[in-house]
Structure 1
Amino acid sequence: MAFSGMAKAVLLDLGGVVYEGKHLLPGAADAIARLHSGGIALRFLTNTTRAPKQRILERLQDFGLSVSADEIFTPAQAACAWLAERELAPFLVVHPNLVPEFDGLEGEDGEAVVVGDVGPTLTYDKLNAAFRRLNDGAEFLALANNRSFKDSDGALSLDAGGFVAALQFATQRKPHILGKPSPAFFATALSSMGCAPEDAVMVGDDAESDVAGALSAGLGKAVLVRTGKYRDGDEARVTPAPTATLADLAEAVDWILAH
């Protein structure tokens, strides 16, 4: 789908695109400032399930970026809205840092197993308890389905998708995916700006969830950057393929403003 004119909005992944660990990536702050000065609306879409939204906001502000909570969209945020709408209580298979995000969601109409990146706290007993609840009819929510992420030591680590796959295999049930590449996740962010999908660009380092996911959701263009979890040849491994594959966020913003 082609742009109906100049790009009106940009959706940015965070980890691996704007920052890595505790460090802002070179040129990222200036690139974001150029989008703002160009009058292009901006939203940050992250699939991280190890940090609550407030901590993500504080990290961006600590980097000196002018960002509000309304500009950040997380899978946990989407899950809380999904659970509240259906009055379901969460059974959490998530990192301890994320547990407070679900406070107050007691639910009266049943239960949903919520799976994220559990990290080193995963145990057989926890996974088996989730398995039993799913067999008893609980809803199955995956905060994200990513295969890996670039960890603080610079190497790839197992992401939430592995835990989701284990429960999917054992229960023979498909989860509701709430983060990228869910079309609803992209749509919620675009709706907050009043932007049609064909007028937006996604920038990410995950060819599968960020880029192919965005294009499949109807976004006009999606740019893959060679930072973060990117590995040589990622652009050739997905369908739809990236509109462009560029060095980093700074080069991606050059490309967006030029197109």
Structure 2
Amino acid sequence: MIRAVLLDLLGVVCDGDTPIAGAAKAIKRLRDAALPLRFVSNTTRSPRSKIVAQLAAMGIKVADEELLTPAQAAIEWLRRHGRQPHLLVHPDLEAEFSGLEGGSSKAVVVGDAGEAFGYASLNRAFRELSAGADFVALATNRTFKDADGQLSLDTGAFVAALEFASGRSPVVLGKPSADFFLSALADLNCPATDAVMVGDDAESDVAGALSAGLGAALLVRTGKYRPGDETRFDPAPTALVDDLAAATDWILNRAAA
């Protein structure tokens, strides 16, 4: 029986500032069925407040405890380990890390820096890693669906470049990290086997969730999905569905079982 639902945001609920058709209604159906929701996003360009405001403008109200982002996980990690961040992130996200300047040593934090990625910024991060800084990746997604509808390079390519040059492997805090999925369920009193993930990324969302022990993971044909994605990664999706509305049908049929 399904007792909790984890939802990706970009590509599942919305494309940028545009809601995906039927998504708001699907979320309401899940709430009406008393299924607890967690929105687990690898978005690393926007602060939490902006994400919540964007969703509210689409008619989707999300409580603070329902939203999990890699930046939030990174802030907790930095505090727990007493590290000050050397940031290679989007300028809009930098303010999220204010107040963490007093750590005993440094950690390079890499997110989707967008146009801020460049030789100079990557080389500064590389030199910090060479000097002994810890290596933290907010996510390792290969691509994202850009504003023009095409796929663009995501954080993973730049994390891989730093990993290759430094010979260091990062701590990954967003999807597909098992800890990220399990932290979303931590306060729900729901075992992973009774939870389902819905995403548009067959690798980070779907294979990541199943590898973390979730009972099911659905791949939608919206967002970054491209034909054949369902066969490219292991574990394969529990089901391939058209969109969040179809995923909701699938979930509610099994939640009532």
Could you say which TM-score interval applies, normalised by the shorter chain? over 0.9
Note if 1:34 corresponds to 2:55. Answer: no
Paired residues of 2:52 and 2:61 also in contact (CA < 8 A): no
Q: CA deviation at 1:190?
A: 0.4
Q: Does 1:84 align with 2:79?
A: yes
* Distance apart, 1:108 and its partner CA: 2.9
- What residue number does 1:112 align with? 107
Correspondence for 2:39? 44
Aligned-partner Cα distance in 1 for 2:14–2:223:
8
2: CA distance, partners of 1:144 / 1:107: 24
Deviations 1:231-250 (A, max 9, x none): 00000011000000000000
Q: Cα deviations across residues 142-184 of structure 1 (Å, max 9, x unaligned)?
A: 0000000001111111100011011000011110000000011
Q: Does 1:160 align with 2:151?
A: no
Q: How far apart are 1:46 and its partner, in Å? A: 0.4
What amino acid does structure 2 have at the position aligned with 1:193?
L
Native 8 Å contact 1:211 1:224 kept in 2? yes
Alignment of 1:1-259 (within 5 A): 6-259=1-254
Is 1:84–1:107's contact at 8 Å kept on the other side of the alignment?
A: no
Distance 2:16 2:128 in 1: 35
Q: CA deviation at 1:221?
A: 0.3
**For 1:219 and 1:107, how far apart are their aligned partners in 2?**
37
For the aligned residue pairs, the C-alpha RMSD in angstroms reads 0.7
SS at match of 1:10: strand
Alpha-carbon distance in structure 2 between the residues aligned to 1:195 and 1:63: 29
Q: For 1:20 and 1:9, how far apart are their aligned partners in 2?
A: 24
Q: Is the 8 A contact 2:9 2:40 kept in 1?
A: yes
Deviations 1:190-209 (A, max 9, x none): 00222110010000000000
The answer to whether the 8 Å contact 1:54/1:69 transfers is no
**Aligned to 2:78, what secondary structure does the other structure show?**
helix
CA distance in 2, matches of 1:107, 1:170: 28
TM-score w.r.t. structure 2 length? 0.97
Kindly state the Cα deviation for residue 39 of structure 1 after the two structures are TM-superposed: 1.0
Specify the code of the residue in structure 2 equivalent to 1:188. Answer: S
CA distance in 2 between counterparts of 1:77 and 1:192 reads: 16
- Displaced runs of 4 or more, over 4 A: none
SS in 1 for 2:11: coil
Q: Is the 8 A contact 2:142 2:157 kept in 1?
A: yes
Mapped to 2, the partners of 1:45 and 1:107 lie a distance apart of 29
Aligned residues: 254
Unaligned runs of 5+ in 1: 1-5
**Letter paired with 1:195:** C
2:67 maps to amino acid: I
Query: Partner letter of residue 50 of structure 1?
Result: R
Contact 2:144/2:153, CA 8 A, preserved across alignment: yes
CA separation in 1, counterparts of 2:131 and 2:138?
21
SS class of match (2:115): helix
Per the alignment, in what secondary structure is the counterpart of residue 90 of structure 1? strand
What secondary structure is seen at the aligned counterpart in 2 of 1:146?
coil
Aligned-pair distance for 1:188?
A: 0.7
Any idea what the Cα deviations from partners look like across 1:116-138, whole Å, max 9, x if unmatched? 11111222111111101101110
